[in-house]
Amino acid sequence: MEVVCALGHVGAVWVAVVLGLVMLPSALGISLGISEAYMWVLVKTLEWATIRLQKGAKKPQLQMPRTPTANGIIERDETPMEKEIALLHRADFEFSHIFYFCRKGFEAIVEDEVTQRFSSEELLSWNLLTRTNVNFHYISLRLTVVWVIGVVVRYCFLLPLRFSLAAIGITSMIVGTTMVGQLPNGSVKSYLSEVVHLTCSRILVRALSGTIHYHNKENRPQKGGICVANHTSPIDAIILTNDGCYAMVGQVHGGLMGIIQRATVKACPHVWFERSEIKDRHLVTKRLREHVADKSKLPILIFPEGTCINNTSVMMFKKGSFEIGGTIYPVAIKYDPQFGDAFWNSSKYNIVSYLLRIMTSWAIVCNVWYLPPMVRKEDEDAVQFANRVRSAIARQGGLTELPWDGGLKRAKVKDTFKEEQQKNYSKMLLFLGKLSHDMWLDTSALAHGLWHVGCSPQEELAPGSLSTHRCPGQSTSKWLHHV
Amino acid sequence: MGSRASTLLRDEEIEEIKKETGFSHSQITRLYSRFTSLDKGENGTLSREDFQRIPELAINPLGDRIINAFFPEGEDQVNFRGFMRTLAHFRPIEDNEKSKDQNGPEPLNSRSNKLHFAFRLYDLDKDDKISRDELLQVLRMMVGVNISDEQLGSIADRTIQEADQDGDSAISFAEFVKVLEKVDVEQKMSIRFLH
């Protein structure tokens, strides 16, 4: 009896703690300062660990990175094909042309821009979580002790607490939105729906020990607009909803996600598509247009990359969202990887094991920047507009811009890219052949001249100029149009 | 995960690879972590598909030839050792290597080995000669559909003619070396590996 009694007490205290310290503040949108205190302790501990690691690194047997670039394997040669081959030029084709392609190929094998974005980013210092860096499994005695304490805290205290919170958050989201959904459409309904969404996402953010810094709140997405953000994880949506409601756009899921989707759509005008519908681009665009046209509806939230990227770069934005028209509100989200890896590697982990990893990490710390709204210019097509928005997000979030399609995570690269390369090379070959027949030019002057024709001032100044990225197909094609 | 990967690489193996390829200890461990991340089958070897999954390599007109260079005749898997041996051709030649004693085995990244590597990319049937037909096939890979058969044929003819010294209408390795004698092969066939 006594054991049952004691268990009952523990349970009651637990419920009281959860209710009093988390639920109420969430509903009211206030903070008691507990998570701030937790973060303070965490930051201090990690700082201490970094110093310990650096001291340890002075011992010769350790291989510690010395500079931020030391995580890279090579330094790339960025000489463009035209420059390199034209400088060698004597006739149209020479055996040495192969060297260029060869070197590019090997550089890509050793280190490439794309595939590494689909696996967790490397950290510069160990963050006392076992799973991070290859370079950091050396552990001194004191660090080991701290690490063990960390494991106990994370798994025995934080995990149950976070798990209960997540359960409460999800349940109240389902129950709340279903109840609100019964009300007739009107201002009362949308008000209550917002309250439910905000409260539940606050609970869920607490379930992840989320510390989120919102910047430039004056640019927050307005009704009737489209909010586009870079995508790292499914929790991006919760992070954003924590500061304002959105109408979500996405595909209908099964399981728990499906139940949540069906419940929330009753209260709030989310746009869920069946798998068969999502292929129908016209239908998608039409439904989104209708939504945007209604200025009383919540802003739509879209992740135009279409897949999760590891928080270091922004990949190609699919143009669909930029064809709808209306105002685009760009948002940049950048997680602090020191406290836990927010990236969802969906080809490696399912959603449950992903959430488990998140809930046993230290915390989710992130910055959210609201950027000034953007509208498509008259002389711009959807792709150019998408690139302009992407550049703005990348600049603000400190992310690398990559022209590649995030879909490469699963699909193979399209043949057209290779054809583009072949086309570039052929053009150059024919051009060199013509030159060597027509006139006898000084080869270095030739290369120099060519180079200048290629870089017109507009291209150099254009935001998101393609000159720095590593997709040679696009960077050189522009250049050769002038030839 | 990463920690498992690095424990699989024993110190003796690192030493052997170091001796064979000239890569440093930290370069080897970093390349090993790259190797394991490419190894989607998680069986300690790479297949052609593993290479083709790298988009930048897949769009390279000579991507298939380059991938092929990793696989010895008749094999469709390459282990870390073999992977490193092929990569070693692209290690830059360091100052202290130039003056090394001439008795030891020639390092994989010597000028001659770099040239031989390039030669084998052209030499499709591995008969130690580049025939007109082989050159045409490689040229076709590089230009795609953009140049006519006739034009490409005349490019191949001229290239062979200029390099052919013994009049057999094919290019031997010696002739290949001669043609490229003024080219800075050491630099053009090297990648700047960080230490």
**Residues in A touching B194 (Cβ below 8 Å):** 69-70, 72-75
A260 within some domain: yes
Radius of gyration of chain A (CA): 27
**CB spacing of A109 vs B57 below 8 angstroms:** yes
Check: CB of residue B193 under 8 Å from CB of residue A98: no
Supply the pLDDT for residue A460. 30
**Residues in A touching B139 (Cβ below 8 Å):** 93
- Contact B173/A at CB under 8 A: no
Which residues of B, range 13-72, sit inside 8 Å of A by Cβ?
A: 25-27, 29-31, 33-34, 37-38, 51-63, 66
A187-207 and A255-267 helices, crossing angle to 10°? 150
d(CA A446, CA A271): 57
Query: Do A406 and A438 share a structural domain?
Result: no
Query: Do A192 and A291 share a structural domain?
Result: yes
Q: Going by C-beta distance under 8 Å and a sequence separation of 6 or more, which residues neighbour residue A350?
A: none
Query: Do A205 and A152 share a structural domain?
Result: yes
CATH number, domain containing residue A300 = 3.40.1130
**CB spacing of A134 vs B2 below 8 angstroms:** yes
Chain A residue whose CA is closest to B88: A106
Nearest to A108 among B37, B56, B193 (CB): B56
Query: Do A343 and A267 share a structural domain?
Result: yes
Could you tell me whether strands B78-79 and B45-46 are parallel, antiparallel, or unpaired per DSSP bridges?
antiparallel
Which of these three, A413, A444, A470, is where a domain ends?
A413
A355 within some domain: yes
> A391 vs chain B: nearest CA distance in angstroms?
22
B195 within some domain: no
Which of these three, A352, A379, A413, is where a domain ends?
A413
Supply the pLDDT for residue A177. 92
DSSP summary character for residue A156 = I
Nearest to A72 among B55, B62, B194 (CB): B194
What's the token pair of residue A217? 């709140």
A21 within some domain: no
Could you tell me which residues are beta bridge partners of residue A334?
A: A367
Q: What does the pLDDT look like over B18-39, one tens digit per residue?
A: 999 999 988 998 899 899 889 9
A248 within some domain: yes
Query: Do B145 and B79 share a structural domain?
Result: no
Domain limits at A202? 141-413
pLDDT in tens, chain A (483 residues): 567 777 788 778 877 777 777 777 776 767 777 778 888 888 888 888 888 777 765 544 344 443 334 467 888 888 888 777 766 566 778 898 999 999 999 999 999 888 888 888 777 667 777 654 444 555 677 777 888 888 888 888 889 888 988 999 999 999 999 999 998 888 888 899 999 999 899 889 988 888 899 999 999 999 889 999 999 998 999 999 999 999 998 888 878 888 888 999 988 888 888 877 777 778 888 888 888 888 888 999 999 998 899 999 999 998 888 988 889 999 999 999 888 888 988 777 888 888 888 898 888 999 999 999 999 999 999 999 999 999 999 999 999 999 888 888 878 888 889 999 999 999 888 888 877 666 544 444 445 444 333 333 333 323 332 233 344 344 433 333 333
A110 within some domain: no
> A438 vs chain B: nearest CA distance in angstroms?
16
Which of these three, B37, B60, B90, is where a domain ends?
B90
pTM exceeds 0.95 for this model: no
B98 within some domain: no
Query: Do A457 and A358 share a structural domain?
Result: no
Could you tell me whether strands B170-172 and B129-131 are parallel, antiparallel, or unpaired per DSSP bridges?
antiparallel
Query: Do B115 and B175 share a structural domain?
Result: yes
B4 within some domain: no
Terminal C-alpha separation, chain A: 90
Query: Do B73 and B34 share a structural domain?
Result: yes
A348 within some domain: yes
Query: Do A441 and A335 share a structural domain?
Result: no
Supply the pLDDT for residue B86. 95
Query: Do A445 and A400 share a structural domain?
Result: no
Structural domains in chain A (count)? 2
Query: Do B78 and B22 share a structural domain?
Result: yes
Question: ∠ at Cα A74 (A72, A80), nearest 5°?
Answer: 125
Q: What does the pLDDT look like over A116-145, one tens digit per residue?
A: 888 887 776 677 776 544 445 556 777 778
Query: Do B125 and B73 share a structural domain?
Result: no
Radius of gyration of chain B (CA): 19
Query: Do B178 and B135 share a structural domain?
Result: yes
Supply the pLDDT for residue A7. 76
Query: Do A474 and A342 share a structural domain?
Result: no
B194 within some domain: no
Which of A20, A23, A35, A391 minimizes the C-alpha distance to A213?
A35
Query: Do B119 and B85 share a structural domain?
Result: no
Which of these three, B90, B118, B141, is where a domain ends?
B90
Query: Do B120 and B48 share a structural domain?
Result: no
List, as one string, the DSSP characters of chain B: -HHHHHHHS-HHHHHHHHHHH---HHHHHHHHHHHHHH-TT-SSEE-HHHHHTSHHHHTSTTHHHHHHTTS-TT---EEHHHHHHHHGGGSPPPHHHHTS-SSSPPPTTSHHHHHHHHHHHH-TT-SSEEEHHHHHHHHHHHHTTSS-HHHHHHHHHHHHHHH-SSSSSEEEHHHHHHHTTTS-HHHHT--EE--
Check: CB of residue B176 under 8 Å from CB of residue B114: no
Which of these three, A368, A391, A413, is where a domain ends?
A413
**CB spacing of A73 vs B194 below 8 angstroms:** yes
Which of these three, B59, B90, B121, is where a domain ends?
B90
Check: CB of residue B93 under 8 Å from CB of residue B186: yes
A318 within some domain: yes
Query: Do A339 and A269 share a structural domain?
Result: yes
Check: CB of residue A122 under 8 Å from CB of residue B2: no
Query: Do B138 and B78 share a structural domain?
Result: no
Query: Do B80 and B40 share a structural domain?
Result: yes
Query: Do A432 and A404 share a structural domain?
Result: no
**Residues in B touching A419 (Cβ below 8 Å):** 144-145
Query: Do A293 and A219 share a structural domain?
Result: yes
CATH number, domain containing residue B180 = 1.10.238.10
Query: Do B60 and B23 share a structural domain?
Result: yes
What's the token pair of residue A337? 């990887």
Supply the mean pLDDT for chain B. Answer: 89
d(CA A215, CA A370): 6
pLDDT in tens, chain B (195 residues): 334 444 468 888 999 999 999 999 889 988 998 998 899 888 899 999 999 999 999 999 999 999 999 998 888 999 999 999 999 999 998 877 765 555 667 889 999 999 999 999 999 999 999 999 999 999 999 999 999 999 999 999 999 999 999 999 999 999 999 999 988 999 999 999 987
**CB spacing of B66 vs A404 below 8 angstroms:** no
A254 within some domain: yes
Domain limits at B15? 10-90
Supply the pLDDT for residue A432. 82
DSSP H or E segment with residue A376: none
**CB spacing of A134 vs B3 below 8 angstroms:** yes
Structural domains in chain B (count)? 2
In a mutational test of the A interface, the residue from B60, B111, B154 whose CB has the highest number of chain A CBs within 10 Å is B60
What's the token pair of residue A405? 């399609």
Query: Do A305 and A369 share a structural domain?
Result: yes
Terminal C-alpha separation, chain B: 24
Strand, helix or coil at A360? coil
Phi, psi of B170 (to 5 degrees): -145, 160
